[in-house]
């Protein structure tokens, strides 16, 4: 990668799916969601080796959901059905698959907020550490115990610069526009899932 090349080319990322309104069910197509989530994980991987714990955790949760989906792709075509129909023979809807989506959603919210903070920063400061910290404080901090918090406090100091992520200011407008477009359905999916978890009483506030 050259010094003028952005670490993430947002024009190459597959957008998160719109909810399936064509069939009047307002649900998220599982495979499309997981494909996009995988790409976000790969984007974070480009931040550097120090971010491998976040990458490993997010990728593990995507794979957990993917494994369940592949058990019956027709029945679990929609993400909401994958969660609600996966009860493992009992009445407990909050199982390991639901937990996987819950933590994946929270991590994705941090990433989405981080990128949105960068875009909304009118100063266009090259230092974006504070944007990641603000995103973490709003999304994952409430669910992290002492050790997890300390780990992030160390980690956020090593987030790449705005130039490294998006490319040099004088030539990154196409990438910035691509990021703005990418965030539209990204945010819409997260809002939809937040409502889904709330409506079905699946939120959990325990700390790790």
Residue 1, pLDDT score: 44
Query: What residues form DSSP beta bridges with 78?
Result: 29
How many CB atoms lie under 10 A from the CB of residue 105? 18
Residue among 59, 54, 55, 62 nearest 79 (CA)? 62
What pLDDT does 35 receive? 97
Per-residue confidence band for 22, with pLDDT thresholds at 50, 70 and 90 = low
d(CA 153, CA 19): 36
Q: Is the pLDDT of residue 197 over 90?
A: yes
Task: Evaluate if residue 42 carries a pLDDT over 90.
Answer: yes
The model's pTM: 0.91
pLDDT for position 2:
45
Could you tell me the residue ranges of all domains in the chain? 10-200
Confidence of residue 90 (pLDDT cuts 50, 70, 90): very low
Confidence check: pLDDT of 176 > 50: yes
Q: Are 165 and 6 in contact (CB under 8 A)?
A: yes
Q: According to the CATH classification, is domain 10-200 in 1.10.3520.10?
A: yes
């Amino acid at each position: 990668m050259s010094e003028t090349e952005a670490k993430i080319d947002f024009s190459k990322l597959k957008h998160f799916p719109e909810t399936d309104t064509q069939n009047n069910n307002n649900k998220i197509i599982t495979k499309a969601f997981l494909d996009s989530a995988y790409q976000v994980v790969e984007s974070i991987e480009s931040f550097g080796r120090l971010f491998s714990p976040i990458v490993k955790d997010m990728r593990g949760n995507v794979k957990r959901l993917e494994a369940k989906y592949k058990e019956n792709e027709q029945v679990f075509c929609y993400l909401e059905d994958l969660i609600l129909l996966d009860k493992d023979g009992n009445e407990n809807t909050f199982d390991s698959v639901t937990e996987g989506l819950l933590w994946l959603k929270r991590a994705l919210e941090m990433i989405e907020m981080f990128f949105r903070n960068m875009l909304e920063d009118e100063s266009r400061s090259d230092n974006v550490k504070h944007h990641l910290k603000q995103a973490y404080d709003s999304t994952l901090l409430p669910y992290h115990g002492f050790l997890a918090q300390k780990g992030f406090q160390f980690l956020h100091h090593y987030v790449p610069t705005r130039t490294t992520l998006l490319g040099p200011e004088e030539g990154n407008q196409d990438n910035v526009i691509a990021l703005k477009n990418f965030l539209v359905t990204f945010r819409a999916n997260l809002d939809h899932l937040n409502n889904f978890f709330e409506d079905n009483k699946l939120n959990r506030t325990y700390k790790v």
